[in-house]
Structure 1
Amino acid sequence: MPTARAGVKAYRNLTRRAWSLRVDGRVVGHVPAIALAGVTFRASEASRLRCLRTGSRDVHAVARGLPLVGVPRPPGAFRFHYRLSAPGFRLADGTPISSAAAVWLEADGTAWCLAPRSGFP
């Protein structure tokens, strides 16, 4: 399991129905749910278009941040998602987001964030 000081990349593993965690390019674990702080979102547009064109699946969208332990999701969190049909991560209303103060990746596959920032760096 990654240490609290190591940044992790988290993404939904559709086969395992869990969140996969990567540190330095290596998968270090699979968890049902995780919370992250200081999150940036990255999605490869070229990979998204290739997946749309070929029907293949690969990891091309991740949330990177520092793991939080024992911090429940607050009621004011915003739901967000990543879909192949549109580039980047987006809030429920379609607003693109590039980062957030904190993120909760839940066991049911939903994702929530606090203080989302729009736009792309």
Structure 2
Amino acid sequence: MSVLLDLGIRLLVLAAARAPDKVTIRETAASCAASHAHLAKAANRLVKGGFLCSLRGRRGGLKLALPPEAIDLGAVVQSLLGSQPACHVRDEVLVGWRRVQDEAASAYVRHLAKMTLSDIL
């Protein structure tokens, strides 16, 4: 699991636990002992993906944009990790290995697509 994915899931779980109140990147970073910059990147991707909504200003923060049962974990993974291949091998000798890893990554996302945020709360 990537750091970005781990932080994004933590952020969603914390936002669900605090609903209807907001969470902030600062307090989440402190509770996870995580980098503010990494958490901000995860939050940005989750907002762009439609899973969180961002409220600006002094009393701003992040809230779930959807109910937990409507947040597809497979879509969350794709939003956080993008469409990058699972393997970054450039050696043409390992094309078969790259294909196997890509197939495994696709199976992982398909499995998670059957689950929602409410399944892990």
Normalising by structure 2, what TM-score? 0.26
Pick the structure with more strand per residue.
Answer: 1
Pick the structure with more helix per residue.
Answer: 2
Normalising by structure 1, what TM-score? 0.26
Q: Over alpha carbons, which structure has the higher Rg?
A: 2
